[in-house]
Structure 1
Amino acid sequence: MNGSIQKLLASYEQQLFGQTHNLALLLTAFLASGHVLLEGAPGTGKTKMVRVLAQMIGGDFRRVQFTPDLLPSDITGSTIFNLKTGQFEIMRGPVFTNLLLGDEINRTPPKAQAALLEAMEEKQVTIHGETLLLPDPFFVVATQNPIEFEGTYPLPEAQQDRFSFKLLIDYPNLTAEKHLLKSSLVDHRVSEEIPPILELADFKQLRDDVRLVNIDDSIIDYIAQIVRKTREYDLIRLGASPRAGISLAESCKAWAFIQGRDYVTPDDVKLVVRPALRHRIILAPHMELEGGTSDQIIQDVVDSTPVPR
């Protein structure tokens, strides 16, 4: 494993107990220039996961609490009239940051949710006809509560497709929870500020190194077959898009890089495929009624796809 990545992950795991795998996947999506949707019950550390990551790479962090009355301009920014100069000036919104946390994104109407579409795909926003580039790197993490449905607005498929991963944040196991309780009681005086492990420029270099990871044609064919099968499977009403295949391939390269390799293996694909596709497929109605899950169906698709040798 790359020394910088190893040090970063080791420090990351000390701050959030019981989420080792999800922390590695969150970093994978960031290195792959993607975005992440976090789904989990309140109090499981979703906000802290993003804030700590921003601090460890020396990046800017902004948090937007999504509410029913949130306006698109509350995210992207707006223009105001300067009485001194007699001109309109652009007031940049919280989207102009390195790591943006959209807390409870499904609590705001589609109009406000859509304010993130251009930012996530083109890494830019348009304010009153003027296009402004976002900082580099730019990473969006949105959270949602899977339990509460009253007063929520489910994310449309087009919005979900722009997230590289959907990570399911579960409660920590007993050992991790005892460790968490003990550290919270003993270290309650410790500052929330965490010194950077990497400089922002170093992180950008690591991201550039990820692009050099080799992915063989046989692996590309393997990914393409999996994605195509999701469109042909009779238990899936809507399969994964071509964008999903591209995102899956890029994420596999980032995961391989984190593991210290400069090439992608079929096992990388098998590990990344569920978080990469679970939010990008829609199950057939009868499958949902029978209690089937996206993860089960994706696993069936992977199991039926020949593994390259």
Structure 2
Amino acid sequence: MDDGESLPVHRLLRHRARDRPRGGDDVSFDYHAPRSVGEALALLERYGEDAHVMAGGTATVLLMRQGLLRPGHVVGLRAIDELRGISRTGSGGLRIGATVTHREVERSAEARAYSSALIEAFASVATVRIRNQATVAGNLAHADPAQDPPPMLAAFGATVNVRSPRGRRALSVSELAVDHFTTSLAHDEVITEIVLPPLEAGSRGTYLKFLPKTADDYATVSVAATLRLADDGTIAETRIVLGAVGPIPIRARRVEEALRGRTARAVAEAAALVREEVDPIDDARGSVSYKREMARVWTGRALARLLR
């Protein structure tokens, strides 16, 4: 498979949807490919909670294969033109369409012009094969706390625009995930775009992750950080968000507050505070105490990188 190919997820879904009896280990469903957001919303309204929205399908197909997700109707979004594209906003921010893939962000000149840290986060996801298929909105809606893009998007203060049969609303990326694999989205809501605000002059960002095994493994801890210096060289503002050490991406507010008005000399002391802000679990990637310590170490490294 070359660099431009994608997983044949939609072909797989259509194949599985044909001539399969419901019940047992196999599940039949109807696959819908609406051409507009309006058509997608009408399908969600018609079929209610028996419908499931799918963008890239990397998570949806896996959950269906495992029997953890059994929708009667799958509403695919990839044929909807208005959900595509990456562009700069008039104010200097960045708009990312819901069905834009990780690889498209990684290779986007507009995204790189916004911040190379955004590229770092999206390029850190799994393998090129997965990045060619997985979408930005799908990643956010899946709410896996160990994924790479959500902490970076949260650190930039990104907003998610959502539509449903009842209308439109906007919420911050930080408000989207509420627990492991759980979001604040209603079953009939569709993410249409992600909007990053313009960066203040002098702002910079970085993304780091600690991998226990191979480059495509989940992180033991990840750190997304943005920072802006005041004219006198002190830290005017910073935003630090950690992934993989809690049920959702965790904002390190105590660390941020400890750094405000300080210099690089305060980093070690401030970074130590993150140990009490994270909420990790024991698993194959480490114990709770180990992950707390790694959160401290990698928060310090991210801040040191920003202050070079």
Q: TM-score, normalised by structure 2?
A: 0.26
Greater share of residues in helix: 1
